Chain A
Amino acid sequence: MKEPVHIGTRPSAKSDLQQLLHEVALGDQEAFAAVYDTVAGSVLGVARTVLRDQAQSEEVAQEVLVEVWRTAPRYRPERGTAMNWILTLAHRRAVDRVRSVEAAAARDTKAALLDHQPAYDEVTEQVETRLEQEQVRRCLRTLTEVQRQSVTLAYYRGLTYREVAEALSLPLGTVKTRLRDGLIRLRDCLGVAV
């Protein structure tokens, strides 16, 4: 399996993925296999953090990867990197799923939500992933408590900002602002450039 691709730090890998996606768009199944090897672990990882459930995460990850195949002809590089396009789709689908599932069942208790930390519970042998985790952890620590909780509840648990406000007993406007300034701080700490 190929190592995961870093955004912004390894431009060559980034453009490789873009090139591969271009070939996928022309119906190249071998190129798709290479895309799969590059992104599947991250796609599944996103689904896992949001959904928690192994079977559901795999189901969503599969749907996302098939969607990547199907819609590769519509990927537009000028709107973002190939990796971000795929990871955004993965998060979107995971969030959709968690909302549809949880709309029927009761939501987790507030206490359980607040308890939540990003769960990097899987032992990974991939050095790059571990480095990425270290960096993200370090940068999350630079956020204020409210910023960090708002961002993690929204991203890792798939809560809407209204639900975040409810969970943290904060006004809507505060959560909206904390999500934004939390992301600004994360962006700067992680050195994200577009």
Chain B
Amino acid sequence: MNTTDLHGLTGAYALHALNDEERAAFERHLTTCDGCELEVAEFTATAGRLALASTVRTRPVMREQVLQRITTVRQASPRTVPLQRMPRGARRGRGLAQWALAASVAAAAALGGTAVWQYERAQDAQNQASQAQRHVEDLAGVLAAPDAKSRSVKVAGGAGTLVVSASRDRAVFVASKMPAPPRGKVYQLWFADGGKMRAAGLMDPDRSSQAVVMQGAVDGASGVGITVEPAGGSKQPTSTPVALLGVPT
């Protein structure tokens, strides 16, 4: 989708009428386009008025239940990293190749992974991003596995998709538009089984969109977590996960 097309998506975006891929593409665009940012804010406020017009009465029991539930829910920590806007040139300079990678990988993930083109697309994009070929093969292997399953989650203001192939017993984590970790820190991936966290590799702190083949076998893990750790990673998580998601089955 070219930029002109993207400018036209403000309305559909504000009404949550884009599919996941289009939304990811548009959100990427949004970080570089002040015009769209303003329009989206206005449209979101307009949609808010449609919502207010739908106000209904609530049952008192719902209030009791919600007020009860929150006593057991731990609050998220404030973001330590504001989603800072990089200088425009810097953004443009390194954005495209990465975006192509993330887009093709996300597309492959969305399709569940069977077709050859997914492999080729991942490969093309990967070449542009000048990454190691073996990583691509692992990546495409998982994404193209006939039994690949995926699940998406919001991560620290961006989005993440976990793709797992049971037959390969491997997992890929695809990050889209995640804010940079604090200086000197990295995002670390973990497999969670039972109450234990097993280290599964680090994400590249300089790239907000990337696909990472998780280290080690899935080996029956029930979930995957992401934490912010000191550069180089930790043996065990030292902070509250910024995201946790169940392994899709």
- Residues of chain A touching chain B, judged by Cβ–Cβ distance below 8 Å, are 4, 6-8, 25, 27, 29, 32-33, 36-37, 40-42, 44-46, 48-49, 58, 61-62, 65-66, 69-74, 79-81, 83-84, 87-88, 90-92, 95, 118, 120, 122, 124, 126, 129, 132-133, 135-137, 151, 154-156, 158-162, 164, 173, 175-177, 179-183, 186-187, 190, 192-194
A sample of 22 cross-chain residue pairs with beta-carbon separation below 8 angstroms, ordered by A number, consists of A8-B45, A25-B75, A36-B63, A36-B66, A42-B51, A42-B55, A58-B59, A71-B75, A71-B76, A73-B76, A74-B79, A83-B48, A88-B48, A118-B53, A132-B49, A132-B53, A135-B53, A155-B50, A164-B17, A176-B8, A193-B45, A194-B38
With A70-B76, A84-B44, A192-B42 as known contacts, state yes or no: A132 contacts B52, CB within 8 Å.
yes
- Residues of chain B touching chain A, judged by Cβ–Cβ distance below 8 Å, are 8-12, 14-19, 38, 41-59, 62-63, 65-67, 69-71, 73-79
Q: How far is the CA of A151 from the CA of B11 in the complex (A)?
A: 9
- Are the C-beta atoms of A133 and B53 separated by less than 8 Å? yes
Chain A, Cβ-Cβ closest to B7: A180
**Which residues of A lie under 8 Å from residue B65 when comparing CB positions?**
62
- Are the C-beta atoms of B8 and A180 separated by less than 8 Å? yes
Nearest 7 interchain pairs by C-beta: A180-B11, A179-B11, A45-B54, A136-B53, A154-B17, A87-B51, A73-B78
Partner of A66, one of B52, B53, B73: B73
Chain B, Cβ-Cβ closest to A133: B53
